[in-house]
Structure 1
Amino acid sequence: MLDLTLLRRDLAAVVARLETRKNPQPFLDVDRFTALEGERKALQMRTEELQARRNALSKQIGMKKGKGEDASAEMAEVGGIGDAQKAGAERLEAIQSELAGMLMSIPNLPQEGVPVGADETGNVEVRRWGTPRSFDFTVKDHVDLGTPLGLDFETGAKLSGSRFTFMKGPAARLHRALAQFMLDVQTTEHGYTECYTPYIVNREVLEGTGQLPKFKEDMFWVLRGGDDQQAEQYLISTSEISLTNSVREQILAADQLPIKLTAHSPCFRSEAGSAGRDTRGLIRQHQFDKVEMVQIVAADQSDAALEEMVGHAEAILQKLELPYRVLTLCTGDMGFGAAKTYDLEVWVPAQNTFREISSCSNCEAFQARRMLTRYKNAQGKTEMVHTLNGSGLAVGRALVAVLENHQQPDGSIRIPAALRPYLGGLELLKA
């Protein structure tokens, strides 16, 4: 969440930066916030006045009692002040609760220098790597290529409904190999610690990374049987949630940073895009796998960490010999918790375009405030950590890219050299 003192100090500047995300600015009810802040200040001032009066009366009562004089009037006034203080405290608590609720629904502020735009058309290309392959035969999409290899959309739909996939044989083997390859690169070459995390998390965990309360309808909810009181729990939409929250409510030592974590997990999203080109195949699924990268760093290191993390995602694409481009997302296309985001888009031949395969974001202190995660800096002062996350990579989309970019005229798939050790040295994947 945003720092409340920032809103109090310069509300106009905060609103101006929020307006770059979407116009008109829908995130903060400025009039309501201003009214609550005015009432809060008045209540706190009144509370101080009442306490000063109570202290003065207490001295008078003590002096009168010491002299044997009647102090009943002062004592009655003290009682009235106590009632007023209690009522003021209850109202102040309600105001603070409402302000906290407002903060939970406000997105992060874009960094200075992030391109301003309303949607993806405002994103800025940073660089490209590789050249899309020229085919001398008719290109097939991953559905036609993958079906003979064991991509089974019909069985997936029969088991779970639309946007679920069953894999078997060579397709399942390739999917597993890609995930293992990504994990090995991130751990052995890039210094991440491999983790295995729960796939079901509590409400406050999702509040910590920003999925709740705003995006509740995009989550799969879990009802657990057998308990007298049902816990509010959800299937994770990314292991960023569990990895980042692994340091929630902690004060870390400076020498513990940076913390670099990675995990391979399924991801569950009830929102899977609108009807259209992505209803076919693996591009948008309710359940998909991803190798996630998370970094917890000191505040002055997050910008450099973001560039590093993008490089870690790029390394996977380069090793898989997949053409891609890197984009800086504009203010209107960034995620809720991000201050700056790079998207990596891989070339998809059958669509003749680039499609997102990784998104790397610097959330600065936004998630840390929600999780109450801090560290002691070199001067011994406690401050919020900065958190970053990125895909390294989305496994299903990597499978799509490998199938389509490395397809052969007979429908077989050439396996990139870096991936062959994970497939027993196999050079061609065939039905």
Structure 2
Amino acid sequence: MIGSRDAYVDGFIDFVSDSPSSYHAVAALGTTLAAAGFRRVREDESWDPLRAGSRGLTIRDGALIAWRAGEGLSATSPVRILGCHTDSPGFVLKPRPDFEAEGWAQAGVEIYGGPLLNSWLDRDLALAGRVVTREGVQHLVRTGAVARIPQLAIHLDREVGSGLVLDKQRHTQPVLGVAGAGASVHQLLASAAGVSANDIAGADVRLADAQPPARIGAAGELLASPRLDNLSSVFAGLRALVETEPAPGTIAVLAAFDHEELGSESRSGASGPFLEEVLGRLFSGIGAGAEERARALSGSWCLSADAGHAVHPNYPDRHDPRVRPRAGGGPMLKLNAKQRYASDAHGAALWRRCCEAAGIPAQEFVSHNGVPCGSTIGPLTATRIGIRTVDVGVPLLSMHSARELAHVDDLRGLAAATAAFFAGS
């Protein structure tokens, strides 16, 4: 059982707070899964045969795949996958990030994905990610609030109220302190890692909003948080996998990929080989040859879970005039005629069964014909693996902002529906 709404949201707040980067997210996932009896296996070691009740996980950089086998396994047992992603739009450090300008110490950053740039202005920002020493040892790093991207005062730009225009290079470099006061990115990262600055040979580090998630709204029904896109789906998959016995004869899988915001084309992204390789090893572990694997995949499903758009009260014309997803109306089935989402009629029926079994409301999302539709890992997974896929997600306001907004019922509802999916609805 997923548990009460408040307990679920409290757990989610803790998870987001522990996950300022994709590398921290998979570390937090791994810790929770290990405590629930999931055994971590390395990709370069031999894996044990898959048996009823087996629980395992493997990590590749900022991605994680975990699995839980049901009773009555056979060589043609299908998989039920919750696919999601661990990254979010924002800023990453450039090489040689330290520089000075006009008496200020600053950090050079590069834009990652498609963030709402203005939402990152005048926020207290931390540095978070991983560094690797000359010996090849990886360290997760996280600082306190050390940086800020300052907006130009209105007195120096009287037209800002008519439209803010930010140059992506000149106007987005954060301030760390005053020049000559010892502010240094590498010193901050070295201190966080517990190593010498000279020992750091590589870094994958991003800016992170230092403000923790918070319940807001007149009745506390809303959650304002960084990285709801897409930690809302990652945590839902985690809780469902830990707390649900898979349907007999099936294997439940959580596939949390990195780099979705960049198009997923990486070794740890959904367009890479990670899932295909893990599934191949799992199928081999139950004695499946090529014929049995094909039969297993034909009966398998992927629930591609990624955040979607609630109707915005100040911009109602940007949404379809009749399909109007609401905050608190339940997680959404996402549909698109151009296959930007992979849902079809069979997927819609599956999703309806899952929501009914979980006792939660459901709603649909479709784009306004005049507004381009984003995409997810769903079509990528369907194309690469050939598995039936349905796209779903929690409705948000302010998607791709440094701080997004969701209804707490929808957050828990996605986990409950995912649990029903793993249980065989």
- Do both share a fold (TM > 0.5)? no
Q: TM-score normalised by the shorter chain: which range applies?
A: under 0.3
The structure with the larger Rg is 1
Greater fraction strand: 2
- TM-score, normalised to structure 1, is 0.23
- TM-score, normalised to structure 2, is 0.23
Higher relative contact order (CA 8 A, sep 6+): 2
Greater fraction helix: 1
